[in-house]
Structure 1
Amino acid sequence: MMKFNLMLMMMIMITFYNCQNFLLFNIMMIIVMLFLFIINFNSMLFESNIIYEMFNSNLSNYLMLLSLWILLIMLLTLNKTTIELKMCILTMLFLLLMLMNAFSVNNLFYFFIFFEGSLIPTLYLILGWGLYYERIQASLYMILYTMLGSIPLLIMISKVLMDYSTSNLMILKMMNMNYSNMHYFMFILAFLMKLPMFTMHLWLPKAHVEAPVFGSMILAAIMLKLGSYGLYQINLMMMNLTLNNSMFLISLSMIGGIYLSMKCLMQIDSKILIAYSSVVHMSMLLSSMMTLNNLGMLGAMMMMIAHGLSSSGMFLLINIIYERSKSRSLLINNGLINLIPSFMLMNFLICSSNMATPPTLNLFSEILMMSSLLNFNLILFSIIMLLSLLSSFYSLYLYSFLSHGQLKFNMKFSFNINSKEYLIMMLHWIPLNLLMFNF
């Protein structure tokens, strides 16, 4: 991990001093880091005690790899006309530094520092490169929700340090931590808000709508996974308390997922629709994780990777259309298959991935999560069936509105999709289909 931190610091310094072609240099360095990470993926897990302490699970490895991949795509979306290009890249690199360390540390207190530290560059991305004046309100919502959950978490970390004299995650997982249900909810509140769970999700649509495209990509692909990763670690530390409260959280998440799926079908703003669909996917992820079943944990891990790629790709697709039509409304952006049929093929591929069609990773992850939930309680069968049906409905709703219908007369010659945008879309879709064979 040290070499990745050193490479990131070098990239930050070169960008800060405004060296020539610093954007291209950063893209090349991220590619090098990806190759190094993939080459050392299996060997670095138990290479030494230090490496074992840092890379404590396959989940953290996959999330670090996803962070590098998404940042590479975010850098590719930039160009020389981007406002304050240098500051934008510096913010992204600082965010990557926080995320890589958050996913790698094996200390609960250090994880809290990096967990909260990632909020600062995300806030700066929304405030600095957001689209409208409402971005200030969206940033305030995000800050208030995150800080409200972080205060109880900090109190509980202090309590753990006083009671057990350690904050090492490996040691804490081996202990039978005897706390009350109130203490458990104080521990997980920050992660449920970051996830976000239904009833704590109100900040997410606002943040997505006001964020720039690279802000929406990092929010959907990585920041939500930071909450699920933290919840995963806490659940393994307090397994008895997790099982005691699992039915309440599963019921609330699944019913909330059904409600938000129907809410997606009422939206005409495509970006809000995708934001709500993220909460629906996270409700299924949270439910399967609360079962503490091996299938549920594996399915949740796959869903983190699959949702990170598919949701980021959908936000990018909507932004490409928005740059041409200057509108996110589904009532205006319809009939585009008559104008850009090849790009609407990408729309079909990404939307089908979002609704878990074969051979994407989303399908395999949902099968495992459904199996885990049915093994936990057969009463959930009807809820799972309804949630899966509605999840496919809003993906078809988005695709059909964008592709079919009557083409607006004032949009006939305003679209020309360049090869770079096709490449970025394929960088989302190809891993979704190849990673399934790896798992």
Structure 2
Amino acid sequence: MFFKNEKKIFLIVFFFFFMYYYNNYYSFSQYTHFFFFYNYMSFFFFFFFFNMTSHLMNVVLIFIMFFFFLKNTFVCKTFSFNMGYYFSMDFFSFFFVLFTLLLFIIIMMHSSNKVMNILTHILIFLILLVFTISNFLYFLMFFESVSLLIFFFLKNFGYYKERGVSFFYLFFFNYISSIPFFILIVYMNHNLNYTFNSLFNFLNTYLYFFLFILIFTTKLPMYFSHMWLPKAHVDSPTIGSMLLAGILLKMGAFGMCRYFMTTSNNLFFILMNLSFIGYFFTSMLSMRVLDIKTCIAYSSIYHMNLALIGLVVYTMYGSFYIFLGHAIISPLMFFMVGLVFDYSHSRNLTLLKSFFKINMIFFYSFLLVMLMNSGLPPFLNFYGEVYVFIMLFNFLNMKTLFFFFGFVLGGYSNIRIYIMLTSGNKNQNGKKIFLKDLLMVVLFLGSYVVFSFFFFSY
């Protein structure tokens, strides 16, 4: 078997050492275009022509690309570059790409379904284009293509027969919200050059603002357009939930960051009031439900509304830290809950008491995850929440009381999940956690810790 794939493995190893030598020998700033082009094209050349190699080789390919992005993060301190009219990266898109590659490495290590692996490869291609494309029209095309593939995940790999209802909610909210925006694009066709900066002059009216913002607030999701998310998470497989939390929500966040970077609008405070409502009520709802996946889904809505409040009060970096922290912690929570479901065949908190006592590494890892999700210092969520609070206090003194109240409710919800899963006598119905699963949990946590301290020093 090794001899059969010997040439392919040799080419992969050769590509790795060539890129490592070239990127060290030449100045990154002088060869930005070549570096960016070669990383993209070589990666997808290997994928399309050598996809029949072992599953491990495909993981190695993604890790190689992740390695070069990581090198320029910690060594070169280079976060932005461009390649002509269509591709560019800035600080925000750079880290969205980096975290996306990390998430896909872990997803592919966990997945064993061949069709799911093929779809995952296609998703990598489309999502990297979403985060690096400069042309606004192409951005929307790839944006909706990713949503379509995630719909396919839910429809074909969901757990229950009722997943058709979840699929309908997901399809209805996401695509109905896209139709008005495409109508707006057609209407303004002659006045736009399809860059984000060109939107500044067109979104100062109530109608245009509503049509534009709807597509991103539904993906984020903002409260009142969030009903699809808990249903989709409940019926999705583990990988589907990780993609929803780590990718689809971050695409909505990325679109909102792009929009708030290029324009200023008095109508933003409408969004802030809606986000306050969502921040408060979703933290209350997460305390009432017993399905652990639904609890985590409401926790995602809670954090996304908090980040949206930060964007409205111009705390771009605070919201960005919340988005990035959520991009790792939320998929990790769904991954751990997926393991619980695989071993116990239940997601009901009352039936899963003391389940995590079957493995002490898993026990303490889950405690750390819950604390990180609650904004434990010195991690990313803590930085983001502090920045949002400081700016919010400068804008609206009294409404910060609601912020604190929602923060306490969200923390209580996380502690409640942890106590219910760890209290009581040792659960005898569970099975031993596999070493591979524990390693992926450690990889998730290690990545989150490393990037938290990197942003703290940066």
Whether TM-score is above 0.5 comes out as yes
Query: Aligned runs of 1:67-146 on 2, under 5 Å?
Result: 67-79=100-112, 85-146=113-174
Partner of 1:282: 304
Among 420, 433, 439, the alignment partner of 1:417 is 433
CA contact (8 A) 1:45 1:55 kept: no
Which residues in structure 2 correspond to 1:34-433 (within 5 Å)? 34-41=66-73, 50=83, 54-79=87-112, 85-164=113-192, 166-170=193-197, 172=198, 176-177=201-202, 179-239=204-264, 241=265, 244-291=266-313, 293=314, 296-408=315-427, 411=429, 414-433=430-449
1:178–1:283 Cα change, 3 Å: closer
Q: Offset of 1:44 from its aligned partner?
A: 6.2
Q: Secondary structure at the match of 1:201?
A: coil
Report if the CA contact (8 A) 1:330-1:402 is conserved.
yes
Code of the residue aligned with 1:312 in structure 2: it is P
CA distance in 2, matches of 1:216, 1:178: 33
C-alpha root-mean-square deviation of aligned residues, in Å? 1.9
- Aligned match of 1:26 in 37, 58, 62? 58
SS class of match (2:289): coil
Q: Deviations over 1:373-405 (max 9, x none)?
A: 222211221111101101100000010000012
The answer on whether the counterparts of 2:238 and 2:335 sit within 8 Å (CA) in structure 1 is yes
Structure 2, unpaired ranges of 5+: 1-35
Q: Which runs of 5+ in 1 are unaligned?
A: 80-84
1:327 and 1:211 mapped to 2: Cα distance?
Answer: 14
Counterpart-to-counterpart distance in 2, 1:127 and 1:438:
39
Higher normalized contact order (CA 8 Å, seq sep 6+, divided by chain length): 1
TM-score (norm 1): 0.90
TM-score of the aligned structures, taking structure 2 as reference length: 0.87
Deviation at 1:176, TM superposition (A): 3.8
Alpha-carbon displacement from aligned partner over 1:381-435 (angstroms, at most 9, x marks no partner): 11111011011000000100000124455x1xx4211221111111221222221
Q: CA deviation at 1:214?
A: 0.8
Matching residue's letter, 1:71: F
Partners of 2:148 and 2:432 in 1: how far apart?
Answer: 36
Give the share of equivalent positions with the same residue, in percent. 26
Deviation at 1:53, TM superposition (A): 6.0
More displaced 10-residue stretch of structure 1: 151-160 or 182-191 = 151-160
Q: Deviations over 1:50-97 (max 9, x none)?
A: 268623421111101111110101011123xxxxx2211110111111
CA distance in 1 between counterparts of 2:298 and 2:87 reads 34
Deviation at 1:43, TM superposition (A): 7.1
For 1:82, the equivalent position in structure 2 comes to: none
User: Partner of 2:24 in structure 1?
Assistant: none
- Matched length: 417
Per the TM alignment, residue 286 of structure 1 is displaced from its structure 2 partner at its CA by 0.8
1:365 positional shift: 1.2
> How big is the shift at 1:162?
1.8
Q: Deviations over 1:160-208 (max 9, x none)?
A: 33224x11224x26x5446411111100101010000001000001111
Q: Secondary structure at the match of 1:272?
A: helix
- Three-state SS of the structure 2 residue aligned to 1:417 is coil
> Is the 1:8–1:93 Cα contact (8 Å) retained in structure 2?
no
